[in-house]
Amino acid sequence: MIAKFKKLPGIVKAVGIVTIISAFGKILGFVREAIIATYFGASETADVFFVANIIPTLLYTAIGIAIYSGIIPIYVEEKEKDPAKADQTMSVLGTVFLVFATFISVLSFILSEQLVRMVAPGFSEAKQETAALLTRIMVPGIIFMALTTISTGVLNSHKKFIAPSLTATAQNIVVILFTVLLADKYGVYGLAAGVLVGTIFQFLIQYPSMSKYDIRLNFSFRKERKRIKETLILFYPIIIASLAVQINGVTDRIISSGFEAGSVSALNYATRLMQLPLSILMAPLITVLYPSIVESALKGKKEFFSLVMKGAKTIIYLSIPFVAVMVIGGRDLIELAFERGAFDNDATSGTVPVFVYYSLGLVFFALRDYLMNCLYALKETKLAMYTSVSMVLVYVILSFSLSAFFEVSGIAMATSIATLLQVLMLSLFLWVKTKPEEGALKELLMDIMKFLGAFAGTCIAAYPVYQYIHDLPNILLLTIITVIVFAVFLGLSYILRIKETKVILQLFKKG
């Protein structure tokens, strides 16, 4: 079994380095959200900021995912043939995307009021005006976000992960400083300014590493029009797929803006906390695996399928204990993370169920991003687009239906269910495209049953302990529960003979 993982020790080392750096950045992100919660709580002011912030985030994410997911396959393929030509191609394509990002930024600045009305129809006129002004402050950041993503794609293609993994740290430090120094005097406007300056620093921290490559602004669009046309044909499904995924976030705001004050904030805080393990552990793994997946796709479907399956099973395996901790100790996590200052006990009570329902979908969120990248590596961008568009329709129906009964918690339920369905659809497409060997399906189903058994057994063992010690201070209680969950999970993994346990331990021992 270990012999099949010849490439993985190097990958594990890279994942380890990126994880350590990313962990610091994401912990700072957690601190950032806690500070925002302290100053603004789950209030109308916080709701307005999070609605305003979703607009540049939505537009950037759609462009950014398209740039990153599309650039690496093109750049890796060109680099294998001619590194100089690869840099030239990237210069032209990067300039195209930078011009596009600038256009989107200017258009969003002009249409900020209309965008806010579309995203938060339940807001009063005064709240919409404030949100529009905050949007104008933050949308220029889309230009620098595009530069950051281009740099990240190029550096990761060269298997250089350190500088890109520092971007979150740079942004979070800036946002924290601006919030602490300016929030008392300028309120939420100081926070918005910090978000803008933070996006600028995300690019600046990568610039020294990026400057080593011959990639510059290149407006030779007519000369490279054939390549640009081919690339845009490949990219437009990625952009549509990314937009489709982000529409879920817009739907969240549209629906929750009509609920009681603090509903938008509850969604935001719950999402941020749920994404902490996703960002610290899963995202680095997906980032480091992607260039290798692209390379394996160029070599043959057998090697590609093998690496995809190993990555997917590792993601599931690593997610399970985190999901168990978050579901069992959800309230304590919210209290520890946010309950101070303006974030009171009522805000905690409103956020906890949202957090738990989001947490149940943690593994699906990670798998969706990973499997989308796998389809991009095969250049099956339209298939990825179809899954995203289909799931938007499912999500919208589920959100409106479930929120009618469960209010803001129903939105979180809908998100997790829709993401699960998208993962199943992505898996089906990959299965059909790679045509795995006979017996692969049986092995996969057995592994899934083992994962489910380990998760159920872990929760059954840990929950009674949680009930018995629930009066302990949050930090002590969560420490005890985390140790028990991971210990029980490892024990059950060994008993159920889950391969990832032995493989990961041996790989880290080698590393």
Q: Position of tokens 């129903």? A: 410
- What is the C-alpha separation between 184 and 96, in angstroms, rounded? 41
| Residue 1 in this model has a pLDDT that exceeds 60 | no
CB crowding 289-298: b at 16 or more within 10 Å, else e: bbbbbbbbbe
Task: Give pLDDT, residue 32.
Answer: 85
The two structure tokens encoding residue 98: 């930078």
Which string of b and e fits 366-375 if b means at least 16 CB within 10 Å? Answer: bbbbbbbbbb
* Closest C-alpha to 272, from 20, 8, 28, 16: 28
Instruction: Find all residues with CB under 8 Å of 80, minimum gap 6, and list them.
Output: 298
Give the Cα-Cα-Cα angle 237, 360, 121 (nearest 5 degrees).
60
Which of 49-58, 167-176, 493-502: highest mean pLDDT?
167-176
Q: How far apart are CA 315 and CA 319, in angstroms?
A: 6
Task: Give yes or no for residue 8 having a pLDDT over 60.
Answer: no
The total of other beta-carbon atoms located within 10 Å of residue 181's CB is 12
Q: What is this structure's pTM?
A: 0.69
pLDDT tens across 341-392, in order?
A: 777 888 888 889 999 999 999 999 889 988 988 888 887 878 888 888 888 8
On whether the CB atoms of residues 249 and 58 are closer than 8 A, the answer is: yes
Which pLDDT score, from 0 to 100, does residue 41 have?
75
pLDDT tens profile 104-118 = 899 989 999 998 888
pLDDT of amino acid 299? 75
Is the model's pLDDT at 213 over the cut of 70? Answer: yes
Q: Between these two residues, 110 and 508, which has the higher pLDDT value? A: 110
> By three-state DSSP, how is residue 340 classified?
coil
d(CA 120, CA 397): 18
What residue has token string 């043939």?
A: 81
pLDDT band at 80 (very low <50, low <70, confident <90, very high): confident
Q: Which of 15-24, 166-175, 243-252 has the lowest mean pLDDT?
A: 15-24
Domain ranges of the chain: 41-258
In which band, very low, low, confident or very high, does the pLDDT at 79 lie, cut at 50, 70 and 90? confident
Given a contact cutoff of 8 angstroms between Cβ atoms, the answer to whether 51 and 116 are in contact is yes
Q: How many other C-beta atoms lie within 10 A of the C-beta of residue 412? A: 28
382 in Cβ contact with 294 (< 8 Å): no
CA–CA gap between residue 396 and residue 252 (Å, rounded): 9
Residue 1's identity, in one-letter code, is M
Q: How far is CA 22 from CA 17, 170, 460, in A?
A: 8, 11, 32
Our CA angle for 11, 316, 13, nearest 5°, is 15
Place of tokens 């899934």: 448
- Coil/strand/helix, residue 342: coil
Alpha carbons 320 and 246: distance in angstroms, whole number: 25
Q: Choose between 510 and 287: higher pLDDT.
A: 287
The answer for residues whose C-beta is within 8 angstroms of residue 348's C-beta and 6 or more apart is 331, 334, 335, 338, 339
> How much is the average pLDDT of 252-272?
76
What mean pLDDT comes out for the span 388-417? 89
Q: Which of 303-312, 432-441, 453-462 has the highest mean pLDDT?
A: 453-462
CA torsion sign, 232 to 237 to 242 to 246?
A: positive
What is the per-residue pLDDT for 506?
55
Task: Tell me the C-alpha distance between 290 and 286, whole Å.
Answer: 6
For the chain, give the percent of residues with pLDDT over 90: 25
Q: Say whether pLDDT at 171 is over 60.
A: yes
Q: So what's the pLDDT on residue 44?
A: 78
Q: Which residues contact 509 (CB under 8 A, 6 or more apart)?
A: none
Q: CA-CA distance, 32 to 175, in Å (whole number)?
A: 7
Rounded distance between C-alpha atoms, residue 310 and residue 304, angstroms? 10
Map tokens 């059950």 to a residue.
492
pLDDT of residue 16: 57
Helix, strand, coil shares of the chain as percentages rounded to 5?
A: 85, 0, 15
What is the band of 3 on the pLDDT scale with cuts at 50, 70, 90?
A: very low
Instruction: Point out the least confidently predicted range of 348-357, 362-371, 418-427, 500-509.
Output: 500-509
Q: How far is CA 278 from CA 38, 52, 322, 366, 395, in A?
A: 24, 24, 9, 7, 21
Q: Which residue has the tokens 């935001």?
A: 268
Cβ–Cβ under 8 Å, residues 250 and 54 = yes
Compute how many other C-beta atoms are within 10 angstroms of the C-beta atom of residue 25: 20
Residue type, position 138, single letter = M
CB-neighbour burial class of residue 189 (10 A; exposed 0-12, middle 13-18, buried 19+)? middle
- Residue 461 in tokens: 């063992």
pLDDT for the residue 503: 58
Percentage of the chain exceeding pLDDT 70: 88
What tokens appear for 268 in the block?
């935001």
Whether 504 shows a pLDDT value over 70: the answer reads: no
Q: What pLDDT, on the 0 to 100 scale, is given for residue 69?
A: 66
Is pLDDT of 449 > 90?
A: yes
Predicted confidence (pLDDT) per residue in 461-472, tens digit: 999 999 999 889
